Amino acid sequence: MRFFRKTNIDFMGKRHLWYTVSGIVILVGMISFFVKGPHYGIDFLGGTEIVVTFQDAVPISTVRAAMDKIGIGKTAEIMTFGSDKDILIRTSTQGEGSSIGDLIRGGLKQEFPSNPFVVQKEDKIGPKIGAELRLNAIYAVFALLIAIMVYIGFRFKFVYGIGAVASLFHDVLVTLGLVSLFDGVLNLELSQNMVAAFLTLVGLSVNDTVVIFDRIRENQKIFRNMDLITVINKSLNETLSRTIITSGTVFTVLLVLFFFGGEVNRGFSFTLLIGITTGTYSSIYIASAIVVEWALRINRKAAQHK
């Protein structure tokens, strides 16, 4: 059974079109990101977050009224968490120990005396930790990008390292933008789990890029006289089958996680779904394309010197 018989698509020929597409997607995403602002969860802002399950469904407006009464209505985020009986309340107001949590629970008891609730989850993060986690997340992303650039520059040629890191940057920006866009439809606030998702998508994207680079490296050794663009196109076509199958498998697995993995995993799997798609795309149209552009520049320089 084959999905693809021998293909001969001119990937690199159409690359300028795809540069534009990428540019537009990133632009739209970044506009959303800067207009809406980054939606930090309490991991990064500090504060208190509590998830409760009521016996009967409650309208969010009433919950907000209850929160107004205890004084945090203006800063509190209130949303459903799965079903409409599960309510998530989050506020960045700080209090001693668990006083905000107590305050919220007391307020809810007063507002809904005949509708008992169970606390599913309660988190309280002090302000110092929030700032630290934010810093750590940024360090982690940079550490990863540098490590990857070094490793690939070392195993292949330096320009491949640049290409790989450029494609990763692209992936992070696209995903960040789309996450910001869809935030509201789903609970996509930036938390530690989300950072893990971003770092994972970087890893998976590089995984994909490396397989293609490996094939290019091999073909270059075999077809020494072929020009680089042809070699790259050939390699892309040869690896197409594997790329689609593997990405498809990961995508399917993530889809399963998205639908059945529980509310906690939803943001995580959504991010990765976007990530794996752009990761596959960027291996071709960013990473390999950069190598092509570089090769063209070298050619032009060589032609000038002649």
Partner 1 sequence: MSNYKGKLVLIGIAVALALWLLWPTYRDYQISSQLKQLSGTDSLQFVEKHETQIREYKAKRIKLGLDLQGGMRVVLEVNVVKMLEDLAKNKDDVFTQVMNEVAEEVKHSEDSPVKILRAKFEARNIRLSRYYGSLRDDNDKVASSLEDESKKAIDRAMEIVSNRVNQYGVSEPTIQKLGGQRIIVDLPGVSKESEVRQLLQGTALLEFKLLKDPEVANKVMYAIDQHLASIDTTGDLATLPSDTSAQALAADTMAAATDTGAAATSVDSTKINTPEGELTPSEFAKKHPFFSLAMSIQQYPGVAIVEQQNRDRVRRLLDREDVQRLIPSDMEFLWSAKPDERLTSGGKKYFILYPVKKAAELTGGVIVNARATIDPSFNRPIVEMEMNSEGAREWARITGANINKRIAVVLDNSVFSAPNVINKITGGRSQIEGMDNIDEARLLEIVLKAGALPAPVEIIEQRSVGPSLGEDSIRGGVFSGLLATALVVVFMAFYYRVAGGVADVALVFFVLFLLAALAAFQATLTLPGIAGIILTLAVAVDANVLIYERIREELATGKTMRAALDTGYKRAWTAIFDSNLTVLITGVILYQYGTGPVQGFALTLIIGILASMFSAIFITRVMFNMLLDRFLTVIDIG
Query: Per 3-state DSSP, what percentage of the chain is helix, strand, and coil (rounded to 5)?
Result: 70, 10, 20
123 binds partner 1 (CB under 8 A): yes
Shortest Å distance, C-beta 121 to partner 1:
5
- Helix axes of 192-222 and 228-260: crossing angle, nearest 10 degrees: 150
CA dihedral 188, 193, 194, 200 (to 10 degrees): -140
Q: How far apart are CA 196 and CA 135, in angstroms?
A: 14
Which CB, 28 or 111, lies closer to partner 1?
111
| Binding track over 143-172 against partner 1, x by CB under 8 A | xx--xx--xx--x-----------------
Q: How far apart are CA 148 and CA 33, in angstroms?
A: 26
Of 203, 219, 228, 237, the one binding partner 1 (CB under 8 A) is 203
Shortest Å distance, C-beta 180 to partner 1:
21
CB 280 within 8 A of CB 258: no
Report which of 191, 221, 64 is spatially closest to residue 121, judged by C-alpha positions.
Answer: 191
- The window from 170-178, 227-235, 256-264, 290-298 that contacts partner 1 (CB under 8 A) reads 256-264
Pick out residues in 67-106 that bind partner 1 (CB under 8 A).
97-99, 103
Element of type H or E holding 199: helix 192-222
Q: Which residues pair with 88 in a beta bridge?
A: 51, 79
Of 208, 267, 285, 292, the one binding partner 1 (CB under 8 A) is 208
Of 26, 104, 190, 204, the one binding partner 1 (CB under 8 A) is 204
Alpha-helix residue ranges (DSSP H) falling in 89-187? 99-111, 127-155, 158-182
Pick out residues in 212-231 that bind partner 1 (CB under 8 A).
213-215, 218
Of 9, 65, 129, 296, the one binding partner 1 (CB under 8 A) is 129
Q: Which residues pair with 278 in a beta bridge?
A: none
Phi, psi of 225 (to 5 degrees): -95, 0
> How many residues line the site for partner 1 (CB under 8 A)?
69
Which CB, 65 or 245, lies closer to partner 1?
245
Shortest Å distance, C-beta 37 to partner 1:
24
- The window from 12-20, 181-189, 267-275, 285-293 that contacts partner 1 (CB under 8 A) reads 267-275
Write the CB contacts of 306 (distance below 8 Å, at least 6 apart in sequence): none
- Residue 243: HSE in the Cβ half-sphere, 13 Å Cα cutoff: 26
Instruction: Return residues touching partner 1 (CB under 8 A).
Output: 1-2, 51, 53, 97-99, 103, 118-126, 128-129, 133, 136-137, 139-140, 143-144, 147-148, 151-152, 155, 192-193, 195-196, 199-200, 202-204, 206-208, 210-211, 213-215, 218, 238-239, 241-242, 245-246, 249-250, 252-253, 256-257, 260-262, 264-265, 268-269, 272
